[in-house]
Structure 1
Amino acid sequence: MSWLVRVGLIVLAMAWGGCTSAPPPPTPPGPAGNPATAGSEAPAAAGAAGAPAGPTAPTGVPAPGGSRVLVIGNIPSENVLDKSSRYVPLCRYLGERIGATVRFKFEPDYDTIVKGMKKREYDFVMPGSLGYVKGQPAGYRAILAPVSRAPFYQGSIITRTDSGIATLSALAGKKICFCDKGSTSGYLYPMVLLREHGLVAGRDFTPGFVKGHDNVALNVFLRQYDAGACYDGAHREAFKTEPEKAAQLQVIALTDRIYNSPLAARDDLDPALVASFVATFRGLASSPEGLEVLNVLGTNLTGYVEVVDSDYDGVRKMLQYELAQEEKK
């Protein structure tokens, strides 16, 4: 049985067994020519691909007097073994204020969470910007977005500092890893950036997919790939306890700005419930307890702001451009 399958089974047992924590398994090194994997979207984001989760990993704490169960779809940005116990205070905080039992359903990648949106499996969902654009027609609308230093972030192209690769033009003939095709900052925007500089996947460079921003940083660090695409700052986050390793990676290019990944609500929810949800998230930064909970959702978050669907029209345009270029091949 592979280590990924074993981790997935452990996660499921933890989730249904009361969210008790367990030490994470060691990350196996990637053999030459194969992507290494860690757990890892998003900068101010509450969700990201890359954690070795099973297809479902609900985490929940019953709220006093709350008979309704609210399911929040999410793509964890870290190993689910680390995340599941940390989400317990968040579930409790939200449940007590909304009057419901809150459960997070962790998904392993963007494609899975978009499929879940199309099946309307979630009451609320954190699918990433591109995931939102793809899943929104199924009946979801953006209501909130996290904020750290700014209400937007950027994708980046990273290389090792000793690689001799400091410009995009130097990537010709190289191997570049991406998160997965559902990632905004770890695929779509960087792919458009490379194309704008005359670099086409399969013709000018060899692409690979490693399922997560942390994994991109890890694979570039281990020299499995010459370069990688991830959100700006992912390499520092991946090696936050080992800054000397982060210092061996560099950003050689940034994409256009991307509005922070939205939190979306299903369109048939009671407006009063959605309003309560929005008010609760917007109030997170107003108390010590709320700030502690906010830290679970992302590094350096300062709060949440309200957003609307049209804020993600830029992502839609990028997607349309990339699809049009693919059709020309």
Structure 2
Amino acid sequence: MKMLPDCHSCGSRNPDAVSAKAGSYTKGIGFLFSQETLDSRFHGNDIFGAKLKIIGLVFFILILISPLYAFSEQKELLIGLIPEENIFKQMDRYRPLAAYLSEKLGIKVRLTILSKYGDVIDRFASRRMDGAFFEAFTANLAMVKLNVEPIARPMNLDGTSTIKGYIFVRKDSGIKSIKDMKDKIVVFVDKATATGYVFTIAFFRENGVRDIDSYFSEYYFTGSHDSAVYAVLDNRADIGSAGSRFYQRIIDKDPAIKNELQILATSQEVPDITLCIRRDLPPELKLRIKEVLLNMDKDPTGKEVLKKFGALRFISAGKADFKPVFDLAKKAGIDIIEIR
């Protein structure tokens, strides 16, 4: 018979937690078979029935401990990151979080940067990733295409856990309305971003622009929110779109930029970056990952990691949080189910 895993392989650093779990199993077995019952079976004529009971006991034990063994067999977690910003800065933010999770889970957590937003579905499947920190729109894509499960997202330092999309121009551009945008250059982040593309397309459609190819002289994608802001700031584009968190971070670093840029439109709030994981991960492991994230702010080491990450804490996330993104995509004429 297999031995119960030790506390390290169960993802718990507390041996008592495993002892308590093992005790609960023993209690369950005792409920099915008392010593008197077994004695009476073996010393009577119903030996065959007693053997059936023992077979049932073995299956009962295997069923109870199988989640623990599934957890212990998971040797590594591969988590993907969407390229929101400079990838070196992004890795600097996420590495301490990965190390913290590794220590708490007893499983190595490895990070990988996806080359671009649009690759997320193919890369997630082909590289057999266990989860990813998705932007709002890519989270929707992954929920539909990969059946992933959103479990947690960070609460930002300003107390928000959502993000808005901004459409912005230079103040000296003379652009005040959609009419002024005719034959101008537009810069987006990526087609698979809610705040850096989907919202902007929805805004254009609501204001009568359904064909961006003919209305604008040019449009292109920068691949990151920061780059989209700087493209407009440096006169490489006339109109830009990006997420509010990235826009504000640039302003905070250089307040003078606020005098050079003007926000023309703001989207409704959508969930900020969210950790989504494979639905078929062992249930015990999924629960443990969520518990570790949600309790980081109660742990001194966790608080330091959160500070480096740029968050106050993690909060629970669910599929219902993403309804505004589906609504935004509908306004933009985008069918998430049909996206390849």
* Fold shared, TM-score > 0.5 on shorter chain: yes
Q: CA deviation at 1:172?
A: 2.5
| Paired AA for residue 111 in structure 1 | G
Aligned residue number for residue 9 of structure 1: none
User: Is 1:128 matched with 2:135?
Assistant: yes
1:12-65 alpha-carbon deviations (Å, 9 max, x no partner): xxxxxxxxxxxxxxxxxxxxxxxxxxxxxxxxxxxxxxxxxxxxxxxxxxxxx9
1:1-329 mapped onto 2 (5 Å cutoff):
68-119=75-126, 121-136=128-143, 137-148=145-156, 149-200=159-210, 201-205=212-216, 206-238=218-250, 240-297=252-309, 299=310, 301-323=311-333
| Paired AA for residue 202 in structure 1 | D
What's the C-alpha RMSD, in Å, of the aligned pairs?
Answer: 2.5
Q: Which runs of 5+ in 1 are unaligned?
A: 1-64
CA distance in 2, matches of 1:261, 1:290: 19
1:59-108 alpha-carbon deviations (Å, 9 max, x no partner): xxxxxx99811111112433233343554422221111111111111112
State the secondary structure of the residue aligned to 1:211: coil
User: In the superposition, relative to structure 1, how do residues 127 and 248 fare at CA in structure 2: closer, same or farther (>3 Å)?
Assistant: same
CA distance in 1, matches of 2:96, 2:323: 34
- Stretch of structure 1 that moved more, 215-224 or 261-270: 261-270
User: In the superposition, relative to structure 1, how do residues 156 and 86 fare at CA in structure 2: closer, same or farther (>3 Å)?
Assistant: closer
Q: CA deviation at 1:175?
A: 1.2
Aligned residue number for residue 15 of structure 2: none
State the secondary structure of the residue aligned to 1:224: coil
Q: CA deviation at 1:198?
A: 1.6
CA distance in 2, matches of 1:184, 1:211: 13
Runs of 4+ in 1 over 6 A off after TM superposition: none
User: In the superposition, relative to structure 1, how do residues 84 and 147 fare at CA in structure 2: closer, same or farther (>3 Å)?
Assistant: closer
State the secondary structure of the residue aligned to 2:110: strand
CA distance in 2, matches of 1:89, 1:317: 35
User: Is the CA contact 2:85–2:224 (under 8 Å) kept in the aligned structure 1?
Assistant: no
User: In the superposition, relative to structure 1, how do residues 239 and 108 fare at CA in structure 2: closer, same or farther (>3 Å)?
Assistant: farther
Q: CA deviation at 1:240?
A: 4.4
User: In the superposition, relative to structure 1, how do residues 86 and 129 fare at CA in structure 2: closer, same or farther (>3 Å)?
Assistant: closer
1:134-189 alpha-carbon deviations (Å, 9 max, x no partner): 12232311111222233322100011122122334422222110001011100001
State the secondary structure of the residue aligned to 2:164: strand
CA distance in 2, matches of 1:163, 1:122: 44
State the secondary structure of the residue aligned to 1:77: coil
- Stretch of structure 1 that moved more, 264-273 or 129-138: 129-138
1:181-236 alpha-carbon deviations (Å, 9 max, x no partner): 01110000121012111223123223221111001011001101101010124233
Aligned residue number for residue 35 of structure 1: none
User: Is the CA contact 1:214–1:237 (under 8 Å) kept in the aligned structure 2?
Assistant: no
CA distance in 1, matches of 2:96, 2:308: 9
Aligned length in residues: 260
CA distance in 1, matches of 2:114, 2:225: 15
User: Is the CA contact 1:178–1:210 (under 8 Å) kept in the aligned structure 2?
Assistant: yes
User: In the superposition, relative to structure 1, how do residues 92 and 183 fare at CA in structure 2: closer, same or farther (>3 Å)?
Assistant: same
Using the size of structure 2 for normalisation, the TM-score is 0.69
Structure with more of its chain in helix, by fraction: 2
| Paired AA for residue 209 in structure 1 | F
Q: CA deviation at 1:278?
A: 0.6
User: Is the CA contact 1:67–1:101 (under 8 Å) kept in the aligned structure 2?
Assistant: no
1:268-287 alpha-carbon deviations (Å, 9 max, x no partner): 11111111111111122223
1:291-325 alpha-carbon deviations (Å, 9 max, x no partner): 3322444x4x2222112212212322332443469
User: Is the CA contact 1:168–1:252 (under 8 Å) kept in the aligned structure 2?
Assistant: no
CA distance in 1, matches of 2:271, 2:286: 21
User: Is the CA contact 1:120–1:138 (under 8 Å) kept in the aligned structure 2?
Assistant: no
